[in-house]
Amino acid sequence: MSQPTIILGAGLIGVSTAYYLSSPSSSSSSQPGQNIHLIDPSPTLFTSASGFAAGFLSRSWFPAPLRALGELSFDLHTELAQKEGGREKWGWCKARSVSFVEDEDAEKERPEDWLMSDDWLAMGVSRAEAAKSELGWKKRSGPEWLRRARGREMRVLSGKVLTSYAGDPLRLSNFLLSECLSRGVHLHTSTHTLSVSCNSSGKIHGIRIRHANGTEADLPCSRLVITSGAWTPQVFTTLFPSSDVKLPITSLAGHSLLMRSSAWKRPQEGEETAAVFSTDPTGYFPEMFARVDGTIYLAGLNSSILPLPAAGKGKAQPHAESIDQLKATAEHLCGLSFASNEIEVVREALCFRPVTPKGIPIIARVPDARLGERARSGSVGGVFVAAEHGPWGISLSLGTGKVLSEMVEGRKVSADVRELGLQEREWKSKAKL
């Protein structure tokens, strides 16, 4: 019988971890799902990045520390979609990425240092541009819905690197959750974690939780996984208040629009969709993704100063001025009008993604010595953290879940993530090490 595992944060990465941990191929037990608990403070799941992100996947648009994980995750997305009918169930479809540039001279004036940057956000460029040295762009026509802008052919650059589009991450998240529940995984929503319980020798043996009705309970566990996205530092500090560790994770807010138009054709079976990376005249970097259901997703308007809402508050309210800016971008790039009902808004959204100064996620076991007083996992179990996937949370989700499940079970991991560990230089410590 495997040791009980509690996963704090039931977003796509938390659910992916439970999915692989409860997989029938797992060596943990014959019924591993019964020993897994997913806990989330929200009454409704997937109301941030896991539900409102683009769903764009890449196999090779990553800096060196992330390449092995990126390749693993891309392959797992492809394998899952082919096995489970991903096109029908969550809109998975192959895509070709294009970069649309209206001002070629401005493109030539960009400094070369952004080409090799690990953190595309810090350099103020799109993630397509940050990966441009890997792509080998070539001139090519863009998708039909983009060429409609200004009624003429546009200058579009396209790479030959294979990408794929996950479709709707909300539907993917719900599919994985359904699979987990069918295996016996326990789900606790509207539930807050209060503290860690330790025995007389200081070994972790459970956590105390509070339900929405105010009742409290103790759940046994020896293995604790924190996958709470931008809220991960708060969760860690709550459970380990005497730890000298401060996770360097902040939030990046992002607005998005999901749109529909009768002028846009749905891709036929076997056809690729398009992922378009562009530059808006107002100075930000919009990203547009065509989905197999005929909708187009538009995002790229990000902010690091919008405050992170309290955990468990549900869907964040989008800012009207940001939505208006996205609408103006859509009209500019597609040559259609909202006012004339040529484009319909299906959904407006605001989500918060976890980021770190280096732009590299943390996927690691927290050393026992850093957990604080009276908190040890002993020879069996441990405390694990996975957060700060930034704009790549959907793309890296399955790989992260797979690797985390292997870490928790003490097995050999499927991708080299040693550079994603908790290096001492990346921890803000209150104590002299």
User: pLDDT, tens digit, for every residue of 294-332?
Assistant: 999 999 999 999 999 999 888 999 999 999 999 999 998
Question: pTM of the entire structure?
Answer: 0.89
**The pLDDT of residue 426:** 47
The 8 Å CB, 24+ separation contacts for 408-415 are 408/5, 408/17, 408/21, 408/223, 408/225, 408/382, 408/384, 409/2, 409/21, 409/26, 409/27, 409/28, 411/27, 414/72, 415/68, 415/69, 415/71, 415/72
187 backbone dihedrals φ, ψ, rounded to 5° = -115, 130
Do residues 361 and 189 lie in contact, with contact meaning Cβ atoms separated by under 8 Å? no
DSSP label at 368? G
Q: Strand 5-8 and strand 223-226: pairing?
A: parallel
In the chain, the N- to C-terminal Cα span, in Å, equals 38
258 backbone dihedrals φ, ψ, rounded to 5° = -115, 125
Q: Which residues contact 165 (CB under 8 A, 6 or more apart)?
A: 55, 56, 57, 91, 92, 93, 94, 95, 273, 275, 289, 291
pLDDT < 70 positions in the chain: 1-2, 25-31, 101-141, 147-163, 373-380, 422-433
DSSP-assigned letters across all residues of 315-328: SPPPPHHHHHHHHH
Taking the C-alpha atoms of residue 177 and residue 1, their distance in angstroms, rounded to an integer, is 23
Domains and CATH numbers, the chain: 5-49+171-245+358-429 (3.50.50.60), 92-164+250-355 (3.30.9.10)
285 backbone dihedrals φ, ψ, rounded to 5° = -120, 90
**The pLDDT of residue 28:** 44
**The pLDDT of residue 100:** 77
393-408 vs 67-84: helix crossing angle, rounded to 10? 100
Q: Which two tokens stand for residue 313?
A: 């508050």
**The pLDDT of residue 13:** 97
**The pLDDT of residue 128:** 60
Per-residue CA distances from 282 to 115, 152, 285, 288, 323 (Å): 22, 22, 9, 16, 14
Residues facing 58 on adjacent strands: 163
